[in-house]
Amino acid sequence: MDNELLEKFQAVLNKRTNSNAIERFRITQFDEPTICNMLMRCYQAKVEMRRIHFVADDNTKQNVSKAAKWLTGNYKVGLILYGGVGNGKTTLARSICELISILFKKDEWTGKGVVKITALELSKMMLDSPDRYNKIKDCELLFIDDIGIEPASVKSWGNECSPVTELIYSRYDKQLFTLATSNLNDAELKDRYGIRISDRFNEMFEKVYFPGKSYRK
């Protein structure tokens, strides 16, 4: 085998690989402890907006710390917060969105802002506004709330489609920043979406499990 030919081939391959590589968005202007502190303040503000007294319990501190680590580190492109209802998943996800919008001084359509949508809204959008659905599918930063509550499939122009599944496939292929919440556990996600999309979830998302009881009373 011609070693010189293989070396040239490898050089071309490396060049193509590097040119096509996508670096996941992450926060680099502050260190992890600073981002953890800022994120906790965003979380507190979100809680107090609902006229609820904020208490930074151990579960909240751990979850905020894990999110800050993901935001500042070189980890998977997605983060999914999952567990029972009412234990702070959506509050933390919205706090992450708030933090990014403050640090980059942008909204979701003009720069480093996070597009926010529920899985149910996403399903309706595929039917009612497919152009907007495609725009959201390919946006740089996305937060999908309540994965698993949407219909398993919808009919678009006579075709069976799964809006969340198609979106996950697309964002997985393009390695785009994706934040998500769900009340489903690993086994339930597998049952709901099948083994192929479950494998994509495992490869694409860092996972933070919320074991606590509901804060809602």
Cβ atoms of 156 and 121 closer than 8 Å: no
| Residue 204 belongs to some domain of the structure | yes
Tens digits of residue pLDDT in 179-189: 999 999 888 88
Domain total of the chain: 1
The pLDDT of 43-63, averaged and rounded, is 92
| Residue 51 belongs to some domain of the structure | no
| Residue 217 belongs to some domain of the structure | no
For residue 151, what are the domain limits?
76-210
Q: How confident is the model at residue 111 (pLDDT cuts 50, 70, 90)?
A: low
| Residue 180 belongs to some domain of the structure | yes
164: CATH: 3.40.50.300
Tens digits of residue pLDDT in 59-72: 999 999 999 999 99
| Residue 94 belongs to some domain of the structure | yes
